A = this chain, B = another copy of it.
């Protein structure tokens, strides 16, 4: 295998090398069809087998109940920021959003175009360094739904516990947390996730929706916006992103063969734990996120001195530790350590961090 670096990008990011190797190997002839997976019709038996297996394996991995539909869409979480209210903000047209970062804010901003959006809780006052605690009474009892963002790539926080919203349907953006730890799907009315972190290349959005939330969109809703369009057509109302679904399917198989989501969770807790423990024990580095709100996927850390932080990112890159720069709104550094980042990558990062501390403290 050719030289590979450790890529700490917030997404797109690392994928399992065996999946990439297989994709390369069968690029010219997929499954004895004499065609590339890039070339086969989405209406062919060969592709039908791909999309059905992908759905089945995702259902197994996430323990998705029968009465939920799985949709493979396009447009990323950004399109879901609009599709969610277009479909679900159709009863009282009230929804409550919890703001835990930039993506949650963007989701709320888009939803305002469709109805009455209230911010039920926010941690913006502390630069989104924690997940606000909520009780069912914090939400409007007649709200069509409550919206949360499971994991916040920019500020490096995550819900360690899913909020209790009582009888109010819960909607969640799982983009940077999907398949990283075991979460009970039955707590949600709808889950959506851009695939480009833990699942597949950019260009695929996964939606998991409880069947009774289909068919609520008004008739003037754009046809692509209506979840029912896609649910009624097995995600093939129009041509789906076939390559991304193929790679996602291979990632699902890989994950199933490597301990499933429980195995990924164990690895992710070990990886993130090692890194946070090192940071917490250091007098040079610190992690701004509150310990009970820390992300397993995006470890945000600082030195405090902007010059030293810039130099850190540049020198790390020379050491084949790529894309460790923090988001401009959070500053400092960010190590995005999705499922496909091996423990060796964390160890290499810590080795570099120790050396950098010694040379620059």
Contact = CB atoms under 8 A, between A and B. Distances in A.
Contact of A203 (B220, B221, B241): B241
Given A28-B21, A82-B224, A15 B3 contact: no
Contact of A20 (B25, B38, B110, B224): B38
Contacts of A2: 28-29, 34
A77 interface: yes
A8 B342 CA distance: 42
A76 B238 contact: yes
A43 B70 CA distance: 30
A272 B155 CA distance: 56
A242 B75 contact: no
A110 B34 contact: no
Interface in A212-269: 220-225, 237-244, 247
Interface string A195-211: 01000011110000000
A323 B42 CA distance: 11
Interface in A1-34: 1-5, 7, 9-15, 17, 20-21, 23-25, 27-29, 33-34
Given A75-B74, A222-B82, A20 B12 contact: no
Identical copies of this chain, number: 2
A52 interface: no
Given A74-B76, A79-B75, A243-B243, A34 B320 contact: yes
A11 B194 contact: no
A113 interface: yes
Contact of A82 (B5, B14, B223): B223
Contacts of A27: 20-21, 23-24, 27
Contacts of A244: 203, 241, 243
A36 B23 CA distance: 11
B79 A224 contact: yes
Interface of A: 1-5, 7, 9-15, 17, 20-21, 23-25, 27-29, 33-36, 38-42, 44, 74-79, 81-82, 86, 106, 109-110, 113, 194, 196, 201-204, 220-225, 237-244, 247, 320, 322-323
13 contacts: A5-B34, A74-B203, A78-B224, A82-B223, A82-B225, A110-B222, A110-B223, A194-B239, A196-B242, A201-B243, A202-B240, A203-B204, A203-B242
